[in-house]
Amino acid sequence: MELRVVINGTGVNPWHALGLTQNPFPQIAKAELMGAMNQLNRLGAEPIKSMDQIREILIGWSAQFVELCCKQYKPGEIVRFTVTLPKGCV
């Protein structure tokens, strides 16, 4: 399974133009994963100012995933990438 990750390093929330605070649609539509999907969607909404903020948002995710997101973060840019989850992870 692949997850799309978007990290907003700009100064503007792109979802505000649509009257939303973040992407309302989960990537994996399972009730037990809704919290994790909301965390993931938060990365692409309100501007991320630091890697510490990424770590705060992704509490509960694996350390490897969190550090991958931190390494991808670029201030002033919106970064998009995909991550393939190991079988049985979801």
**Does residue 37 belong to any structural domain of this protein?**
yes
- Each residue of 35-76: pLDDT tens digit? 999 999 999 999 999 999 999 999 999 999 999 999 999 999
**Does residue 73 belong to any structural domain of this protein?**
yes
**Does residue 13 belong to any structural domain of this protein?**
yes
pTM summary value = 0.92
Q: Residue 13: which domain range?
A: 2-81
What is the rounded CA–CA span in Å between residue 55 and residue 90? 21
Buried b (16+ CB within 10 A) or exposed e, 29-51: eeeeeeebbeebbbbbbbbbeee
Domains held by the chain: number: 1
**Does residue 90 belong to any structural domain of this protein?**
no
**Does residue 53 belong to any structural domain of this protein?**
yes
**Does residue 74 belong to any structural domain of this protein?**
yes
